[in-house]
Amino acid sequence: MNVVLNICRFNPEVDVKPYFQEFTVLVEEHNTVLDALLQAWQQDPGLSFRRSCRSAICGSCALCINGRPGLACQTLIRNAITEDGRITLEPLPHFRQLKDLVVDLDPFFESLKAVVPWVVIRDNHDGRMTPEVARKLESPATCILCGVCHAAMDDPGEVKPAALVKGLRLALDPRDVLGAARLQLMKVPRDILRLFIKNLPEKCPKGITVPEDVCHV
Amino acid sequence: MLMHEVLVVGGGLAGLMAALVASQKADVAVLSKIYPTRSHSGAAQGGFNAALGEDDSIEDHIFDTVKGSDYLGDQDAIEVLCSEGPEVILELERMGVPWTRTPEGRVAQRSLGGAGFPRACFAADFSGHVVLHTLFEQVLRRGIKIYPEWHLVELLVEDGQVAGVLAYDLARARLEVIRSKAVILATGGYGRAFAKTTNAHANTGDGMAIAYRAGAILSDMEFVQFHPTTLYGTNILISEAARGEGGYLRNCHGERFMVHYAPQKMELAPRDVVSRAIFKEIKEGRGFEGQYVHLDLTHLGEALVAERLPQVRDLAIRYAGVDPASAPMPIEPAQHYSMGGVRTDVWGMTSLPGLLAAGEVANVSVHGANRLGGNSLLETVVFGRRAGHRAAQLARQEPWPTLSAATITRAYESWSSLLAGRGQGVQEDSTFAIRQEMTNLMTNQVGVFRVGSELEDAVNRLAKLKERYQKLKPPGGVQPFNYALMDYLEVGYLLDLCEIIARGALRRTESRGAHYRLDYPQRDDQNWLCHTFVRRGEDRPEFSNGPVKITRYAPQERGY
């Protein structure tokens, strides 16, 4: 089937401001938006967008699809196409556009540092963890740092959502010596954290859930 | 000019492990063409082999690996791999890896193919992902400098010694020289040489090709692993853990056909054996629509599938429209892993002074002719650690190597024409067209089953593709995020590697591990119990044979 991709273009070397360009590509409806983008790239090799794993585990192809942030490789054409056969693709909002669909990720990765993003291991830790606790860590540990959460949410504070997820996952880790102190580190009031935890699964392309009882840690 | 005592190229498991260890004693930076957390290591699902269990032993792990390698693995390197496994798992545990646990709270282990024991430590089916992110956390902790979205374009060699690199910063569209005392390549494999592959778009063999061009020896490049179970059509990986947890392979008659090929190990036979079995079933008319077979998990129950294989389930639902908890998945084999690579010793040292390598880009030869599931993740951390250690040692002992203005100028000049060129736009031929023909050729003629006449034809056709490639105008033009330029370079790397793989496969007139010749179906220890070494010659690769290190286990017939 033919699909019209309406793609936001911007080359800082020549363009004063972003504009839209249409590409008509031939794809199957079970193909992904990434498949369609790869077709558009063949038509114009100058088109810039990130991609790598094509199986929703690397997070490279995060962008805005019909106004909604998501992963191009995870979104099927049939779920993205509008009635008039179009799909609009833009860079992630809340990020600085560098070229076409490529955004500046440095501040996003930089913000991880705000939460001491590693396990501060207890000296006396014996290397064991109950399966119940391990299961609690599992979902937040699947964060792929794609940035979709940051694009999809109103920023809850200085610390970006992915950093919050990392901080909450570490607060739940029995090996970590900081534990509850991590909630202070995040500089986010607990009621706002609870709201964040509640909203996260529907914004996150991995559907990440954080147990709400972390707020009682 | 930038300077780092140790420069790690590649931000996956091997690269980050090397950087962490080296950073204890030296100034280290990581250069990576994608952000490190986006490395292909993160797609690894199954687990890390290590003999932790009371009934298991390092000895058993060594033997399983030697046998799995079809006796082409170097046994001294395999001993290192298996012996250091348990301590590396403990180290990762203390870094904060969220492993799946046993009821007693220990790191849980599962069965993968070719192992005599549930030996793979895992985190559901996100094993590579969680370890990659944990190592990244440690890199942040140590404040290691990262150059993300920088591409290695050339190793700068002076008097036979690697003295630094020329790199291309994609965001700023400019070339930079980074001087170093040691460069560790950890750039992964070349899966994108094949049309059907589980590999990420980024896996274009850059490090292998660049090392080869700089004069390093590659080895065993004809050994290409095909993963038996990838989703039909997209070739997205369905982890061996799906069979490790009890999944069945069935043909169109509903029969568990592995009984005819590996009656003892059944679905958990090594990947080469299972891949050939699936192709044979399809070829002989027992596949579905003549194209695929089924991987059936329905008897495992929804709870187990949800707990142990959540990612597999998501992937199958999304990309194949099948929930594996209630219906079998359509699967076919596809390229997965490169056994060959830049030849190294057990410390990651290559034939080029100042250059080290670890992970899939390297061939220390722990996998020989066929890799067992769970051993590649282990290899990345064990040999990444060793390469990091040795590189830091070099940085302590050695003075800064000479890097003359002449070398830098020559490199700059040859590459800056690419940057400034304006070849992009309409031309008769394209990298897209060449890439498509190359990858189809490799899948169809240099795949699971190989035969002399087709390999010869592949070599000839690859030479023609190379001629076409050389006529292309490089898509330069100084602009940020010029992916067309990167694509152009990557196809050039892949063409070099494809030629080596196809020529190597044509040269090896036997069947061993993943290399299966229909015209030479037997293993031939008399003539071919040897590594293939290859280095760049005047106008084509030059091949030679190298000895296989055999310490304890004499080759015997490999039955499962």
Whether B26 has its CB under 8 Å from any CB of chain A: the answer is no
A143 Cα to chain B: minimum distance (Å): 9
Tell me the per-residue pLDDT of A56-86, one tens digit each, with 9 for 90 and over: 999 999 999 999 999 999 999 999 999 999 9
Per-residue pLDDT band at A156 (split at 50, 70, 90): low
Yes or no, beta carbons of A118 and B95 under 8 Å apart: yes
Give CA angle at B389 (B23, B47), nearest 5°. Answer: 95
Which ranges of B203-294 does DSSP label H, i.e. alpha helix? 206-213, 241-244, 271-283
- Return the SS3 of B212: helix
ipTM value > 0.95: yes
Q: Are A110 and A207 members of one domain?
A: yes
Whether B481 has its CB under 8 Å from any CB of chain A: the answer is yes
Neighbour order of strands in the sheet with B120-121: B48-49, B120-121, B109-110
Tell me the per-residue pLDDT of B318-329, one tens digit each, with 9 for 90 and over: 999 999 999 999
Which of B96, B104, B236 minimises the CB distance to A175? B96
Task: Check residue B423 and give its pLDDT.
Answer: 63
Pair B336, B197: CB distance under 8 Å: yes
Task: Check residue A155 and give its pLDDT.
Answer: 66
- In this structure, the strands spanning B48-49 and B109-110 are unpaired
Task: Check residue B548 and give its pLDDT.
Answer: 98
Residue B202 sits at φ, ψ, to 5 deg, of -70, -15
Whether B141 has its CB under 8 Å from any CB of chain A: the answer is yes
How many C-beta atoms surround the C-beta of residue B477 within 10 A? 20
Yes or no, beta carbons of B42 and A105 under 8 Å apart: no
Percent of chain A with pLDDT over 90: 87
The answer as to CATH 3.30.365.10 being correct for domain B226-334 is no
Q: Are A96 and A114 members of one domain?
A: no
Q: Which of A57, A76, A103 is the last residue of a domain?
A: A103
Please name the helix (run of DSSP H) or strand (run of DSSP E) that holds residue B219, with its range, or none.
Answer: strand B218-219
Task: Please tell me the distance from the alpha carbon of residue B27 to that of residue B37, in angstroms, as a whole number.
Answer: 21
Task: Check residue B12 and give its pLDDT.
Answer: 98
| Helix count and strand count (H, E) for chain B | 15, 21
Task: Check residue B27 and give its pLDDT.
Answer: 98
- Say which residues have a Cβ less than 8 Å from residue A135's Cβ, sequence separation at least 6: none
Yes or no, beta carbons of B96 and A48 under 8 Å apart: no
B174 Cα to chain A: minimum distance (Å): 14
Task: Check residue A216 and give its pLDDT.
Answer: 80
- Return the SS3 of A81: coil
B543 pairs with which residues across the strands? B534
Number of domains in chain A: 2
Total residue count of chain A as it appears in this document: 217
Beta-carbon pairs below 8 A across chains A and B? 160
* Closest C-alpha to B226, from B189, B262, B265, B256: B189
| DSSP letter, residue B420 | H
Task: Check residue B317 and give its pLDDT.
Answer: 96
**B429-538 matches B226-334 in CATH topology:** no
Task: Please tell me the distance from the alpha carbon of residue B419 to that of residue B476, in angstroms, as a whole number.
Answer: 5
Q: Are A78 and A157 members of one domain?
A: no
Q: What is the CATH number of the domain that holds A174?
A: 1.10.1060.10
Q: Are A95 and A110 members of one domain?
A: no
Q: Are A109 and A205 members of one domain?
A: yes
DSSP A121-186: B-TT--S---HHHHHHHHHHHT----SHHHHHS---SSS-HHHHHHHHHHHT-TTBSSTTHHHHHT
Q: Are A67 and A87 members of one domain?
A: yes
Task: Please tell me the distance from the alpha carbon of residue A116 to that of residue A126, in angstroms, as a whole number.
Answer: 22
Q: Are A131 and A66 members of one domain?
A: no
Active site residue B271: yes
Count of alpha carbons within 13 angstroms of residue B387, beta-carbon side: 38
Map out the domains of chain B as residue ranges: 226-334, 429-538
- Return the SS3 of B382: helix
Residue showing tokens 């722990």: B366
Q: Are A210 and A115 members of one domain?
A: yes
Q: Which of A66, A85, A103 is the last residue of a domain?
A: A103
Q: Are A211 and A139 members of one domain?
A: yes
| Helix count and strand count (H, E) for chain A | 8, 7
CATH architecture of B429-538: Up-down Bundle (1.20)
Q: Are A208 and A121 members of one domain?
A: yes
Task: Check residue B425 and give its pLDDT.
Answer: 52
Which of A47, A52, A141 minimises the CB distance to B200? A52
Q: Are A113 and A145 members of one domain?
A: yes
Q: Are A124 and A200 members of one domain?
A: yes
A7 pairs with which residues across the strands? A21, A89
Residues in chain B with pLDDT values less than 50: none
Residue showing tokens 């024409």: B417
Task: Check residue A217 and give its pLDDT.
Answer: 67
Q: Which of A52, A84, A103 is the last residue of a domain?
A: A103
A118 Cα to chain B: minimum distance (Å): 5
Tokens of B257: 């056909």
Task: Check residue B477 and give its pLDDT.
Answer: 82
Task: Check residue B418 and give its pLDDT.
Answer: 83
Chain-wide mean pLDDT for chain A? 94
Domain range for A169 is 105-215
